[in-house]
Every structure is written in structure tokens, then in C-alpha cells.
Amino acid sequence: MLRVGYPANIEAALLSVMPSGIELVPLTDGLDHDVNVDVWIPDPFSSRAQRVWAHLRGVRLVLALLAGTEWIPGVVGPHVTICNARGAHNISTAEWTISAILTSLKYFPLYLDIQASGDWRRRSEAAAQYERIHGGAARFYPPALLEELTGKKVLMVGYGSIGKEIERMLAPFHVQMRRVTRTARTEPPVHPVAELDNLLPEAEIVILILPLTAESRGLIGTRQFSLMQQGALLVNAARGPVVDTDALVAALQAGKIRAALDVTDPEPLPREHPLWHCPNLLITPHIGGSSPQFTPRALKIAAEELQRYRNGEPLQNVVQAAAI
């Protein structure tokens, strides 16, 4: 019988999706003795998971509850198969992305500050903000006090399952979408990352939703910010190190771009870091996937992989195959 170790703080009722004929072994954060399991479902918090790993023996398969598995290969080594939970974050992360775009375009941070001040007359600050963002663009009458998403030119960097969900949610806004991945595709049209610099000047919104790899680390840096148009919105729902933080701070402080981030580099972002105080910036502390539906979805994906593993069928979400 397969022994499957899982985080003990997961509600027992959620484990009902697991296939029959396995032994579920709860693993506490304070585990202080060795435990033999065949399959490990790590705690989503990597620091807790690594403490537990030190006491695990016999693991052949890791079923991560997250799409990102960057830390796992270095901990478990090359002789363990690792699967991620591709698809578990699609809806919540896509909704965060749409919300972050609309929050930025509608100037909600400014209007929340105006609400706190109780001074209706400050709405004129929105017109001044619009002019600063767009580099002294012509004044409007009546004043422009927010912007529209409909019809915007959007560049999606990364086009996996989350990227496709973001595109689906953007469809009602009739945006002009261009997509970038590692290699070109024809249906739908996708540009190779080698063409990124040529595409950036046209984009009004740049969405980052790609995995962190050696190739994607620092993908958006000083040159890329210089190519972006005045007032372009950068939305990072991927990983912090995809963006060069120093270059991002410089671009924001210069008033060249604006940004919405759910991830940063470093992370967690230290209290004294200059990024906290940059203009035209929205930061959320890596919460894009943390909805109540996350764990049920992730466990369902893990359960389906576990059933395939028991049946000797190919696994679907392999990110590392065990070395022979």
C-alpha cells in the first residue's frame, strides 16, 4: 500500500478526493522522528516543508500543491520525480491580474487616499496624476480622472495555463493581445522571446506570467524599461527575479512606467526597501493564489496524479523525472 505524507494542518475533509487503497500519513511542522513514505505532498510554505523533509525516508514522488517548484529539486535531489499543481492557481491568479490592471487604470489607490482624507475636492489630483503618468499629455475637458482597459494593447509574456485564463478574462474588454513564449507558435499566434524587445514599445500593458528559469531571470531590465512607452503598466504575477529590481525602481522613480506587483525580489520585501515608496506602484505580498478554493483544487490535481501513479500511467505535470 502506498504511503502518502501530507501536511497535517490540511483539513481532513479535503482529503476525501484521494484515491482509495492508500495510507495517508499526516506530517506535522514539528516532526522530530524519521517517517517512511512513498509519496510526499509538501507544505506550500517551503520553510516548513524543508524542515519535514529532513525526517522523510523512501520518497519516490513529490506532488507539489503549487505551480512553482523552484526550491524542491535542490532539496530532494535528482532521484525523485516531482510534479507541480499546474492549473490550481489559474482562476485566482488571473483574477488578481485583472483586478490589479483595473485598480491601476482606475486610480483606486489615489481614491482610497482621498476617501481617507474626506476631501472631495482632491479628485482633481487624478487629472494631475494622468498627466504625470503620460508625460504631460494634452489636458482633457472635462478632466481625465481615470483610464479605460477596453481596447488597450496588451503584451502577455508567458502563455501557459494561467496566461490563457488571463486572456479569457480579458476578452470582454476587447484588448489587442500579443503573446510571447520561449518559442513561436502559430495557433494562436505567439512570438518567441527573442522578439520581446521589438514588441515592448507597442504595449500599453505588459503582463508577466512565466516561470522563473535561468533564461527568464532578469528578463525585464534597464533596456526593456527604456523600450516601454511612457506610462506603460507592468504587471508581474510571475516571480520577482524575472524583473531587475534596481532597474524597476529607477524606471518608477523616473516616472517612465507604472507597475502592479504580487511578487518582488527580494521576497519578502524588507520594510526599508525603496520599492515600497516608489510612485505609481501597487504591491500585494504574493497573495494572488491564496483563495479558499486553492487547497481543494490543488488536492484534486494531486489525487489525479496519485491515481495515475498507482495505475502505472504517465504523470501529467512532471517538472522533474527521476534520474535512473
DSSP-assigned states of every residue in 136-177: SPPP-SS---S---TT-EEEEE--SHHHHHHHHHHGGGT-EE
In single-letter form, the type of residue at position 6 comes to Y
The Cα-based distances of 172 to 95, 96, 148, 149, 202 in angstroms read 14, 16, 13, 10, 21
- Round the CA-based radius of gyration of the chain to a whole number and report it: 22
Cβ atoms of 257 and 224 closer than 8 Å: no
- DSSP-derived 3-state class of residue 90: helix
Q: Is 106 exposed, middle or buried (0-12, 13-18, 19+ CB in 10 A)?
A: middle
Distance CA 313, CA 167 (A): 32
In single-letter form, the type of residue at position 33 comes to H
Burial readout 18-57 (b: 16 or more C-beta within 10 A, e: otherwise):
beeebebbebeeebeeebebbbbbbbbebebbbbbbeebe
Cβ atoms of 263 and 234 closer than 8 Å: no
Which of 180, 197, 162 shows the shortest CA–CA distance to 289? 162
Q: Enumerate the active-site residues.
A: 239, 267, 286
